[in-house]
Amino acid sequence: MIWTKTSPEIDPGSNEPDHTTHITVADLDGNIVAATQTINELFGSKVTVPGTGVLLNNTQQMFDPHPGHALSVQPGKRVTSSMSPVIVMREGLPEFAVGLPGGVRIFTSVFQAIVNLIDHEMSVQEAVEAPRVWTQGQEVELETGISELVMDQVAEKGHRVMPVNAIGGGMSIVRFEPGGLLSGASCWRADGHAVGIGGGFARSGVRFRPSVGEKGPAHCYVGKLPQKLKGGGFGFNAFNHLLCCVDCSSTREPSVKICIVKFVEAYLRLNI
């Protein structure tokens, strides 16, 4: 129903959450980036950079207004931040990069992921999905994936155990595997995804995977990718089922139209 006058009810909708964003990106040349960005609260400071539309954050509200403390306001001082994008090196080369949102719980979440990868030799997917622990003072938050036996043992040591659904936000990892393979993962705590994109210029008679999948134009492959190309089990969404040249849009070959049609057909068949 469309009201011609003022609505009889006030329904502004649900409040938007305060969120930080993290992204981890790597390429076949060995370059890797871990970047965390935040405006702190919804719309940040409510001030934009003139001419850009970019919102400035309001993280200065984290300062302590009282003098004489570690976080007291001082000229030229930067406010503390829990953002912790991490790149782990091995013999001077990047091994993997990891990061996540989650406020002060970022620190321990990143640390636990690094321990999972190095000490426990987990895959990237196992490392991001493993149950997390957070403690401050005598309170210990344990994700519900941790057994009740462990929770009881922690409580016996005098800690106040608080079972929680999730600690921190959605983590993303990219790791360079032996043989040049890249593996990536994101976890269930957020709606992020791990995505792999590959391709090249279209050339007649050349296929990415000529022996698998449906027949299509020379530069396209439609069908499920082998497990090896999935990087240890993480999903590619639609790209899991269709590999198409990145440069298709820049060519003028007649097959480009077929390529786009096959992409849409494959995507609709997946119903995702």
Residue in 167, 190, 268, 270 with CA at minimum distance from that of residue 224: 270
Please state, in angstroms and rounded to a whole number, the distance separating the CA atoms of residues 164 and 145. Answer: 9
Q: Name the token pair of 194.
A: 């791990």
State residue 43 phi and psi, 5-degree precision. Answer: 70, 10
Please state, in angstroms and rounded to a whole number, the distance separating the CA atoms of residues 72 and 86. Answer: 27
* Catalytic residue ranges: 20
Residues 6+ positions from 8 with CB-CB distance below 8 Å: none
Contact (Cβ atoms closer than 8 angstroms) between residue 97 and residue 85: yes
Give DSSP secondary structure letters for 115-178.
Answer: HHHHTS---HHHHHHS--EEEETTEEEEETTS-HHHHHHHHHTT-EEEEES-SS---EEEEE-G
Q: Name the token pair of 46.
A: 């409510």
Give the CA radius of gyration of the chain.
24
